[in-house]
Each structure stands twice: as structure tokens, then as C-alpha cells.
Structure 1
Amino acid sequence: MSDEPHAPTHTPVRTTPRPAEPATAQATATGAAPAPEPSSVWLPRLLVVGLVLAALNLRPAITSLGALLEEVRTGLHMSGGVAGLLTSVPPLCFAVFGVAAPRLARRFGPAAVVCAGMAAIAAGVLVRPFAGGTPGFLAASALALMGIALSNVLMPVIVKRYFPDRVGTMTGLYSMALALGTSLAAAVTVPLTAALGGGWQTGLAVWAALAALAVLSWIPVVRDHRASARPTAPAPAPTTPPATTPPTTARDAAAEAPAATAAPRVARSRTAWALACFFGLQATGAYITMGWLPQIFRDAGVPAGTAGVLLAVTMVMGVPLAFVIPRVAGRMRQQGPIVITLGLSGLAGYAGLLTAPAEGAWLWAVLLGVSNCAFPLALTMIGMRARTGAGVVRLSAFAQCAGYLLSVPGPILVGALYQHSGGWTAPLVLMAGLMVPQMAAGVLAGRDRTVEDGD
């Protein structure tokens, strides 16, 4: 389905927004009631299933590789530098490939792009273990990350378009599924590899099945949208000038929409920039936590196995909170209080790691897990800071692409500080210091205004 100038506002789920429905336009002209939509019963349920399955696939390609990174390095004879590149490539790919999401969504419709993204994840994850060398492995990984990047940007768009009255609830649902997929891949990849015979190739490739299942859930949605976009009856002879004739397809409606409504200039909006900074700073903290938290605990004397469990605790905190926080945020006019609460939790966690990393390890893991729930909050605010579907797709692409670019140096800088200082004091001070601008940007992004306001 093509990108329309307005998100639906009357019913929770519609296959095409009101201004672009041929049947509705013709019914208005003739006084007849619009024909019933045969997909109106099953489409909302299928969209919910598709959202959950898509979200489950947005991180396993990354976290399953982290669990088997040593085996992959040995099997492909990778250098340490190349292996390090693998851990920093995801946010860079998210930024580079995410830029294409709005254009592709306008051309093919967001549902079709998400479906294609799931197919790219399935293909990349399936092919990369058997690519026959490091270049092929990297290329296949980039294919999977491209699919993740496109879907990352379009998840808030799908929610805004088809569930406009339940943005917080649906964002919480897919954020919870995303956190669950992240934790699941990190926790079960190693035992699953052992159960399947011990080969790292099979342990990585098995996650392609989950992506293939997501593709199957989106195919009927895409077909339904294409069918609903076709004219259902010959158009009557125009009785008004061509410029005001009702469009016959959603794509025509988007093309004829006023530029100010369909294409807000998000790069000129202070709200958009604040949201991009908030997104980038929270992503920086999340990638630093995923990459370095176990090492912090191990250097404090915590056994390696326990350090891994502590990281899992931090990640699992996102499962329930990712559902609760967006629902609460969606009912608030300003999300600043939630931003401050999450930021203070992160500051407390870093302070604990500085003063008593081993003694209070479980508490610090929980506090940092709460702090990392700034991610679903950022996604919720993307859906709330634009009034139209076109505004959400542009804001989502801008905030996520700029934000992920901002997050790339963080884990590398922390590693450099750790290597040159020989301890964790300087890196932890940096990590705590980044929470201050994160809270400031989040408060600005959480104000009750939209990018169409031109602030």
C-alpha cells in the first residue's frame, strides 16, 4: 500500500485511509453506503501477529552471532579487527540502510517493505554461515542488517497507520517482542547449537526459520492491500476540474496531497532533532551495555557464567517494561517525567558499578535494564510527534538514522578508554555523563507538539 498524506482517524484499522478510498469517494458522490470490506475481521488480527513476528526478528541476527563469535572467528580465521568490526557494524547499517525506508514505503507501501525486510533477514541469516569465507559472511550479514534497518524504521509507521488509537499499546507490544527476541537469541543459541550437533553454522542458520515465519504472516496483508488499492468500479465522468477529482488509488492521493501536509521538513524541526539525539544517546548506552557489561562484572571478580546471567537479567527487564512504558507514555501529554525516571535509574546503576560492582551486581543489572527501556519510549514518541502517516515515516527515518550514526562511536570510545586507563573508572564516568544530555534531549522530545508544528 502506498504512503498516504493522512493516517486513518475513524476506525482502528483500515486497509486504506479515508481520503484515498475509491469506494468511499464514490459512495459520497452517489449517496450510497460504501461496500463492506471482507478483510475487516481478520486483517487487524493478522497485523498484530505480523508485528510481533517482525519484532521478534529484529535482533537475533545480532545477538546469536555474539553468542558464537569466538567459534565464528576460529572457523573463518577472522582477525580480531574484523571480529570487532562485526560488533560495531549493526548501528552503522541501521543508519545507512534506514535512509531508504521512506522512499521504499512511498513506492511500495510500508507493509510490502516490512515483508521484504523479513525476507532479507531470512536470506542473510541462512546464507552467511555457509558463504565460504569472511567476505561472503560480511555480505550476507549486511543483507540481514538491511532488512532489520528497513523494518526498524517502518514499525512505528505501521503502528501509526493501522492502530492510530492504540499507539502506546501496540508500540509496547512489538517493543516487548523485540526485547524477547533479543534475550531469546542470546540465551538459547549456544545450547541450541549443542543440541543440533555442535556446528556454529547450524546454530546461526536456524534463526532464518523465525524470519521465514514472519514473511508468511505478511504476505496475505500485502496481497489484501494491493487488492484494496485497485478501483472497484469504473470511475464516473468527472464533474469537477481535474485538480479536485477524487483520486482512484492511494498512491494518487499521496501524489496529489499538499506538500506541507504530506512531507513535513523534519530536519528543520527542533523536536525532530531532540528526538534523534535522545534516540542516539539511548542507543549508545544500550550498545555499551550489551558489549561491555559482562567484562565490567568479570573484572570486578564476578565469575564469567554469572556475568553472562547478569547481562541476560539486564536484557530481560525490557520484556515487561517495554509493554508498560509505551502504554503509560501514550496517555501522557508530555513524556519528560518518564525520561527523567529512566535516566536516574541509569545514573544509579553506573554509580553502583563505580563503587561496589560485585557486591550489588544484581541491583545494578536491574537498574541498567530499566534505563535501557528508553528505547521503547523513543519509539512511542516517534509515533506521537507527528500527526500524519507521512510525518511519522519521515520522522522515524530521520530520528533512527541520525540516532544510530550518533551511537556508533560510543562502544569504541569506551573500549579505548578501558584499554588506555587500565580500569573502568573513566569509561563509567563517561557512560554516566552521557545520561545527562540524554535526559535533556528526551525532555525536549517529549513536549506536546509535532513536527508539523514547525517548531
Structure 2
Amino acid sequence: MERVPADSPTTRGRWLVGAAIVLLALNLRVLVASVGVVLPEIRADLAMSPTTAGVLTTLPVLCFAVIGFSSGGLVRRLGVHRSTVALLAVLATGLVARTLVDTTPLFLGTTALALAGAAVGNVILPPLAKVHFPDRIPLISALYGAAIMAGATLASVTTVPLAEMLDGWRPGLAAWAVLAVVTMLPWLTLLGHDVHTGPGSGDRLPMGKVIRSPLAWAMVLCFGAQSANAYTQFGWYPEILTDSGIGENEAAILLGVLTGVGIPVTLALPWLMARTGDRPTLPVFFGLATASGWLGVLIAPSSAPLLWSVLLGVGGSAFTWVLAMIGKRTRTPAATTALSLLTQGLGYLIAALGPFGVGALHDATGSWTAPLLALIGSSVVIAVAGSVISRPRMLEDTLR
């Protein structure tokens, strides 16, 4: 059985660890949300083609999938605290480096470097919660889930004013590296109390074994469908709205509403999860909210865009719910790490089909009808796969 050292922050300094986890989560979507709002300036400065811009919008989910899935060995060898410091250093380096280059290939490469740090951060959050707050999984998951959304909202709202104040998109984007450096400080104090989730532990679960679990695949499908929706919203939602006659400024504000409205719902998750227990109420609700939002955008996009944005934002809380269930459906940090790797690695690979597929369908059909119908269909996956996850069973029991 894996043991946490007696002097580890699970028994002292939990406030420091909790704050450090929330700060870490705050960083993980900043680099994605900050690019979209200054993309026209980036494209003009780097002579970036529309096709390359499409690659840039798909790059986050591809990096989250490939790098996240392959990061398990690093986390096991370094320990969760050293891995966190390392990923923040990589994130900060990439954030600065991409503002110092003058060609599109180098911009994509340095952006991928920053995304590599964020990818490891995505994977490491559930094990950190399992190690330090095994008795408060829904609460800590809600806090870091809300922080992820808050980071995206903060970046989408403040990057343009930052760029204007600092005289250009380059310093406007580079400024977010300061947040990563500040976040690193509390984790440096925890290096002497690191916790390993392997290697050689009897609790370590081979990925080949985990991948045969029906519960694991339900996690992958639910997470993948929700993330496909989220990254489609990041990349295409404003354009879908502007094509329906809504102004660009209003569309940008509505995207901010969409990302921000999920924060209070996510913070309410511990209470909601306690009230609903093992019933599939929450995933079905998230699926219905997502479907209703996209249906409204399809039928009457300019009639009640605020309502559609709120519904989509509420449905997006399925993201934090799945991350919380990774911890609730495993017994040990090793199992949590394995399930987190599989869920996010394959889930983000599925998610890449969202923004890419929506763009391809739009180009092929010349309208948003087919893409929106596909997104409505993906909400059914959230509800059905989420209902499977809701059943009261542990990952380890499904492997027997």
C-alpha cells in the first residue's frame, strides 16, 4: 500500500497545499484563452495563414492528449511536487519564448512547449487531490475546476487590455508567465515533502489493464465529449454568433459569460454531489443543458444568446465533475494517476475532433447546421457515459 510520509502536507499545512493546487489550476487555460482574443494581431504580425491558425486552435487538445498520456512515468519518477515545479517552469518558459519569435513555425513550437507544461498540470491535479485531500475530493476538485474556468475567463477578458497597456500582443501574452512563476513559489517549499505514486509499488496499475475497464472507457467518452464542446466554444463560438448577426464585441462578451457562468456551478458541485449521491442526475443535467444551449443557437441564435451562453456554461461543469469522479472511483493515488492519464490522454484526443470537425463540417456544408447537430449529439454521450460513471463501483473492482 502506498503511504504518505508522516510529515507530509496531508497532515500539516493543508491550507498551503490547497492554495497551491488552486493557483496551479488557475494557470492551465490561460495560454489557450489568451491567444484567441489577440489572434488577428498574431496572424498579421507573423503572416499566419487561416489553415495555420486552425492548427493553432487545435494544438492545445493535441498536446494535452499526447503529452498528458505520456507523462505518467515522469510523475512517478519525480514525485508529484517536483513534477509540479517542473511543469510550471516549462509553462513559464514557453509563455515567454513564444513572444520572442518572428516566424509561425517557431511560434507553434514554443506554444507547444508551454502546452506541454499545462498538459502535465491537467494530469497531475487529480493525484494531488487524492494524495492531500482524500477525504475532501469533491471540494478540492470543485475549487481547482473553478480555478481552471476562472483562469480562462480572466485571460479572455484582460489580455487585450494588457496588450494595449504594454504596447503590443507580445508583452500582453508574456505577462501571463508571471502567474506561473508566482505559482511555483509555494510548490518550492513542498519539495522536501514529495510523494511518489510508484514506481515498483504493488498498487501501480498497468495501463494495459486499466484500458480494459468499462468504467475507464466511460470516463474517456464523457471527458472527451465535454472537452470537444469546450474547445469548439473557445475556437468557434464567437464566429457562430457573429455569422448570425451578433456584433463582435457582444460575441466576445458572451464567450466570457459562457466560461464564467460555470464557476459558481462548479463551486456548488460538492453540495450537489452530496445531494444526488450515486444517481445519474448530474451528468444527465449537464448533457441536457449542453443540448439545450446548442439547440437554441441552432434555432434562434440572436433571440436569446445570453440564455444559450448560460446553458452551455452550466453544461460545461461536466468537466470538473468527471475530474472529481476520477478520485472518487479509485482507492489509491496510483490508481487515480492511471485513470487520470487514460481519461485525459484519450479524452483530449477525442476532443480534438471538436474544433477540427466543426470547422470541416462548416466548410463542407457552408452553414453551421450540421456542426451544431453534431454538438447536440455529443451532449447525449455526456449524459449516457456519465450515467455509467455514476454507478457506485471502484476502478480496481472492475479490473478483477
Q: State the TM-score bracket (shorter-chain normalisation).
A: over 0.9
Is 2:118 the partner of 1:176? no
Whether the 8 Å contact between 1:329 and 1:335 is mirrored in structure 2 is no
- Pick the aligned partner of 2:225 from 270, 278, 281: 281
- Pick the aligned partner of 2:131 from 161, 176, 189: 161
Offset from partner CA, 1:70-105 (integer Å, 9 cap, x none): 111111122222111100010000011112332112
Gap runs ≥5 in structure 2: none
Task: Give, in whole Å, the separation in 2 of the partners of 1:40 and 1:256.
Answer: 22
Distance 1:38 1:451, change over 3 A: closer
Deviation at 1:257, TM superposition (A): 3.9
Whether the 8 Å contact between 1:330 and 1:380 is mirrored in structure 2 is no
Task: Give, in whole Å, the separation in 2 of the partners of 1:385 and 1:225.
Answer: 24
Deviation at 1:138, TM superposition (A): 1.6
Is 2:322 the partner of 1:378? yes
Deviation at 1:426, TM superposition (A): 1.6
Stretches (4+) displaced over 6 A: 38-41
**Paired residue secondary structure (1:302):** coil
Whether the 8 Å contact between 2:36 and 2:234 is mirrored in structure 1 is no
Distance 1:216 1:270, change over 3 A: same
Whether the 8 Å contact between 1:167 and 1:330 is mirrored in structure 2 is no
Tell me what 1:271 maps to: 215
Gap runs ≥5 in structure 1: 7-15, 25-36, 227-249
Task: Give, in whole Å, the separation in 2 of the partners of 1:162 and 1:354.
Answer: 44
Deviation at 1:43, TM superposition (A): 2.5
Q: In angstroms, what is the RMSD of aligned CA positions?
A: 1.9
Tell me what 2:70 maps to: 100
What letter is aligned with 1:145?
A: L
Task: Give, in whole Å, the separation in 2 of the partners of 1:158 and 1:40.
Answer: 10
Count of residue pairs the alignment pairs up: 397
Q: Where in structure 2 are the equivalents of 1:196-345 lying within 5 Å?
A: 196-197=166-167, 199-225=168-194, 254=198, 257-258=201-202, 261-263=203-205, 265-329=209-273, 332-334=276-278, 336-345=280-289
Offset from partner CA, 1:327-371 (integer Å, 9 cap, x none): 532665425210001111112112211221111111111111111
Task: Give, in whole Å, the separation in 2 of the partners of 1:437 and 1:224.
Answer: 41
**Paired residue secondary structure (1:165):** coil
Q: TM-score, normalised by structure 2?
A: 0.94
Q: TM-score, normalised by structure 1?
A: 0.83
Task: Give, in whole Å, the separation in 2 of the partners of 1:38 and 1:368.
Answer: 40
Task: Give, in whole Å, the separation in 1 of the partners of 2:305 and 2:312.
Answer: 11
Task: Give, in whole Å, the separation in 1 of the partners of 2:379 and 2:10.
Answer: 45
Tell me what 1:31 maps to: none
Task: Give, in whole Å, the separation in 2 of the partners of 1:332 and 1:111.
Answer: 33
Offset from partner CA, 1:378-407 (integer Å, 9 cap, x none): 111111111111000000000000100011
Deviation at 1:45, TM superposition (A): 1.8
Whether the 8 Å contact between 2:92 and 2:178 is mirrored in structure 1 is yes
**Paired residue secondary structure (1:129):** coil
Tell me what 2:312 maps to: 368
Task: Give, in whole Å, the separation in 1 of the partners of 2:267 and 2:340.
Answer: 20
Whether the 8 Å contact between 1:100 and 1:150 is mirrored in structure 2 is no
Deviation at 1:136, TM superposition (A): 2.1
Distance 1:195 1:136, change over 3 A: same
Whether the 8 Å contact between 1:78 and 1:134 is mirrored in structure 2 is yes
Tell me what 2:292 maps to: 348
Distance 1:128 1:374, change over 3 A: same
Deviation at 1:324, TM superposition (A): 1.2
Task: Give, in whole Å, the separation in 1 of the partners of 2:77 and 2:233.
Answer: 37
**Paired residue secondary structure (1:292):** helix
- Pick the aligned partner of 1:49 from 16, 19, 41: 19
Deviation at 1:434, TM superposition (A): 1.4
Task: Give, in whole Å, the separation in 2 of the partners of 1:335 and 1:144.
Answer: 39
What letter is aligned with 1:215?
A: M
Is 2:59 the partner of 1:115? no
Task: Give, in whole Å, the separation in 1 of the partners of 2:51 and 2:10.
Answer: 52
Offset from partner CA, 1:147-195 (integer Å, 9 cap, x none): 0000100101000111000000000011111110000000010011111
